Amino acid sequence: MPTDTFYITTPIYYVNDVPHIGNAYTTIACDVLARFHRLLGQDVLFATGTDEHAQKVLDVAQSLGKDARAYVDEMEPKFKQQWSALEIGFDDYIRTPEPRHVKVVQAIFQKLLEQDDIYLGSYEGWYCVSDETFFTPAEVTDERCPNPECRKPLTWVREENYFFRLSKYQDRLIEYMETHPGWLRPDYRANEVMAFAKSGLKDQSCSRINTGWGIPVPGNDSQVIYVWFDALINYLTVAGYLQDDEKFARWWPPSVQMMGKDIFVRFHCTLWPAMLMALGVELPDIFFGHGFWTIEGEKISKSKGNAIYPTELVTELAELSGCEKNVASDAVRYYLLRAVPFGTDGDFSRATLIQHFNSDLANDLGNLLNRTLSMLHKWFGGEIPPVSRKDDALAKLAEEATTQYVEALENVRFSHALEAVWSLVSAGNKYVEQSAPWALHREGKEQELADVLYNALETARIVTVLVAPFMPCASEKMWTQLGIPGSPAVQKLPESTQFGGLRSGAKAGSADPTFPRIDTKKRKPETGAAAGTSPKKKSDEAASANVISFEEFKKLDIRVARIVSAEKVQGADKLFHLSVDAGEGKLRSVVAGIAEFYDPAELAGKTVVLLANLAPAKIRGVESQGMLLAADTDGRAILLQPDAQAPPGARVR
């Protein structure tokens, strides 16, 4: 595949309901990667769309007394409305009933039929309409869907179907996984796919009885092509397969195929690669299966009425803060990709969204840009001053942050990329505080003052480029405020983040905050405190109860340690078994509940802080000899680390 192109896909979404914030997560992630790769100078093809031939779509249409085609034509614009609210900039939007897609699906089915990769047989077994998935009797224990995210009643099906010879490609698929590390991500999901493949792949039914909805099997109108077989082919259709050879040669294979974890193992990482092998087509570069979002601790459920829709959330946040709707959209995008490491599950709450809005965006980013612009307008009439000395430390930090940011996004680590950017934001704010421009002005040190404001605003300019894929509208506004022509979206990395790009003499825009702080005191009080209880009294009592003496503190053996290796604890999604060097000449075994927040690979070699004299305990059959110290931030565990090099075993005083 040419290195100057980047082809990224979302799964195509069922149209039986409007997409909620959980569905939007995938699409936002793909949009950010698409924008990032444009910053790298690549041509990008970003595709999404709707999967309209599902049985459950037909069932919903019929329950509403509507023709299936009329129903999907009514629903499809609602998807584009939600994506528009989130500033999703797709390049191609495909619908499965489109003639271009129907033609490709039928041609592929016919080709595989002729080469005996598809055959006619009889199917008898369980079918989940909600997941549109066939399950073998061995996978079902209670007549309910074995997918833990579904668990709806199954239907027993007896019908004549066409079958795809999935079993034929089992060994090739296993060999491919073994010889292509990093093909399936995160790694622990790759392990799930390998286990599924080694358990024995069964031939997959690839047609259903024709009930009047679906793509007819060529030469047999009594059957329609199974919805998953139909839907997966959309990725080929978008790239021009069997329609435009030049286009297909340019864009295939996909660089990244993104999806939720529920459709990762069975469909995208086994059925789909086997179909491509049968067609003699190159496999995608990366499959990524991300985690799910819950809402305030509960699974997103239409029946519970807790689903949050992007249009509603953006409107709500804009009203709370007073910011523009497209800026509120950017804040939602930022929160979803910053709050948890991509790949793990996350819990959405309005309280933590507002906390991120106020802390990260209004305070940190707002201080760096808007406070500095206010001083610029006050003391230099809003004109970028000439600089006599660029700050070397900030320049070096900007270079390091850019390198870390690029590496993180190339490895689909969104929160890591944003952490790198915010390290630069923090450095810029610290620089302003330490330089004290207000004191320089008071003392009449005009050139030093000019240098400080220039360096702070130059840091803000670099940050604006880096946040552009995450916050496209806010970054445009920030770019204009800095008085820079053009757009941050068309800059090129890493050239555009080299220190010194801000032009002296340019007239800056207004210093109005891009993200106005939300006054949380005006929000409705949270429930939970007992009526009549004084918050101050409760706070005082809690503080008193938690006081310890210095003698008690001295009993704690807190020391620096280094993680040597990390692996998942079998049967426990949240636990890692760590081997830790605490400077004792032998490794300690520590069990830590951080698997939701870190990948095993990134932990190896990390310097951490260990409570070493905690009584040993058996956790899931694994002995734990101590506890890592971590900060609890918005429900996320962040490991504490020394801010300078310290050897394993160094005591914390």
Question: In which band, very low, low, confident or very high, does the pLDDT at 538 lie, cut at 50, 70 and 90?
Answer: very low
> pLDDT value at position 632?
65
Kindly state the average pLDDT of the residues 573-580.
Answer: 83
Question: In which band, very low, low, confident or very high, does the pLDDT at 606 lie, cut at 50, 70 and 90?
Answer: confident
> pLDDT value at position 530?
30
- Enumerate the domain spans of the chain: 348-497, 550-639
pLDDT at 603 exceeding the cut of 70: yes
Q: Are 572 and 578 in contact (CB under 8 A)?
A: no
CA-to-CA separations, 578 to 190, 560, 602, 625, in angstroms, rounded: 20, 15, 12, 10
Q: Which residue has the higher pLDDT, 390 or 583?
A: 390
pLDDT at 493 exceeding the cut of 80: yes
Separation between Cα atoms, residue 241 and residue 143, nearest integer Å: 40
pLDDT at 545 exceeding the cut of 60: no
Q: Are 483 and 455 in contact (CB under 8 A)?
A: no
Q: Which residue has the higher pLDDT, 108 or 608?
A: 108
Separation between Cα atoms, residue 298 and residue 347, nearest integer Å: 8
pLDDT at 581 exceeding the cut of 50: yes
For residue 148, which amino acid is it? P
Q: Which residue has the higher pLDDT, 302 or 491?
A: 491
Structure tokens, 428: 């810029």
Separation between Cα atoms, residue 366 and residue 623, nearest integer Å: 47
Separation between Cα atoms, residue 349 and residue 337, nearest integer Å: 14
Separation between Cα atoms, residue 230 and residue 97, nearest integer Å: 10
429-479 pLDDT, tens digit per residue, is: 999 999 999 999 999 999 999 999 999 999 999 999 999 999 999 999 999
pLDDT at 616 exceeding the cut of 90: no
Complete DSSP assignment for 195-235: HHHHT-PPPEE-EEE--S-SPEETTEEEEEE-HHHHHHTHH
pLDDT at 549 exceeding the cut of 70: no
**Mean pLDDT over the full length of the chain:** 89
CB neighbours of residue 155 within 10 Å: 12
pLDDT at 155 exceeding the cut of 60: yes
261-301 pLDDT, tens digit per residue, is: 989 888 899 999 999 999 999 999 999 999 999 998 888 87
Separation between Cα atoms, residue 17 and residue 60, nearest integer Å: 9
Separation between Cα atoms, residue 592 and residue 574, nearest integer Å: 8
Complete DSSP assignment for 394-447: HHHHHHHHHHHHHHHHHTT-HHHHHHHHHHHHHHHHHHHHHH-HHHHHHTT-HH
Q: Are 409 and 337 in contact (CB under 8 A)?
A: no
What is the three-state SS of 3-39? CCEEEEECCCEECCCCCCHHHHHHHHHHHHHHHHHHH
Q: Are 233 and 254 in contact (CB under 8 A)?
A: no
- The phi, psi pair for 633, rounded to 5°, reads -120, 110
**Which residue from 347, 635, 365, 350 is spatially nearest to 520, judged by alpha carbons?**
350
Q: Are 22 and 300 in contact (CB under 8 A)?
A: yes
Of 149-158, 197-206, 418-427, the one with minimum mean pLDDT is 149-158
With tokens 């507002």, the residue in question is 354
> pLDDT value at position 625?
92
Separation between Cα atoms, residue 270 and residue 231, nearest integer Å: 15
Of 60-74, 302-316, 591-605, the one with minimum mean pLDDT is 591-605
Of 286-290, 543-547, 567-571, the one with minimum mean pLDDT is 543-547
Tell the CATH topology of 348-497.
Answer: Isoleucyl-tRNA Synthetase; Domain 1 (1.10.730)
Say which residues have a Cβ less than 8 Å from residue 634's Cβ, sequence separation at least 6.
339, 352, 355, 356
Q: Do domains 348-497 and 550-639 have the same CATH topology?
A: no
**Which residue from 308, 310, 432 is spatially nearest to 366, judged by alpha carbons?**
432
- The phi, psi pair for 221, rounded to 5°, reads -70, -5
> pLDDT value at position 384?
96
Q: Which residue has the higher pLDDT, 58 or 34?
A: 34
SS3 content of the chain, % helix, strand, coil (to 5): 45, 20, 35
> pLDDT value at position 150?
73
> pLDDT value at position 544?
42
For residue 412, which amino acid is it? V
* Domain covering 550-639 in this structure, CATH number: 2.40.50.140
Separation between Cα atoms, residue 319 and residue 335, nearest integer Å: 17
pLDDT at 536 exceeding the cut of 90: no
Kindly state the average pLDDT of the residues 194-204.
Answer: 93
Would you say the pTM of this structure is higher than 0.75? Answer: yes
Q: Are 156 and 126 in contact (CB under 8 A)?
A: yes
pLDDT at 526 exceeding the cut of 50: no
Say which residues have a Cβ less than 8 Å from residue 554's Cβ, sequence separation at least 6.
none
CA-to-CA separations, 232 to 6, 59, 108, 169, 222, in angstroms, rounded: 19, 22, 12, 17, 22
> pLDDT value at position 633?
53
Say which residues have a Cβ less than 8 Å from residue 546's Cβ, sequence separation at least 6.
none
Q: The sheet that has 346-348: what strands, in order across it?
A: 298-299, 293-295, 346-348
Question: For residue 8, what are the β-bridge partners?
Answer: 46, 256
Q: Are 100 and 243 in contact (CB under 8 A)?
A: yes
CB neighbours of residue 305 within 10 Å: 6
> pLDDT value at position 31?
98
Give the HSE-up count for residue 35: Cα atoms under 13 Å, Cβ half-sphere. Answer: 24
Structure tokens, 359: 């802390």
Question: For residue 236, what are the β-bridge partners?
Answer: none
Separation between Cα atoms, residue 39 and residue 293, nearest integer Å: 29
Kindly state the average pLDDT of the residues 513-542.
Answer: 56
Query: Is the omega angle on the peptide bond into residue 253 within 30 degrees of 0, that is, cis?
Result: yes
Complete DSSP assignment for 559-616: EEEEEEEEEEPTT-TT-EEEEEE-SSSSEEEEEES-TTT--HHHHTT-EEEEETTSPP
Q: Are 133 and 150 in contact (CB under 8 A)?
A: no
Burial profile 125-142: b = 16 or more Cβ within 10 angstroms, e = fewer:
bbbbbbbbbbbeeeebee
Question: In which band, very low, low, confident or very high, does the pLDDT at 564 lie, cut at 50, 70 and 90?
Answer: confident
> pLDDT value at position 382?
96
Percentage, residues of the chain above pLDDT 70: 92
Question: For residue 299, what are the β-bridge partners?
Answer: 294
Kindly state the average pLDDT of the residues 128-156.
Answer: 77
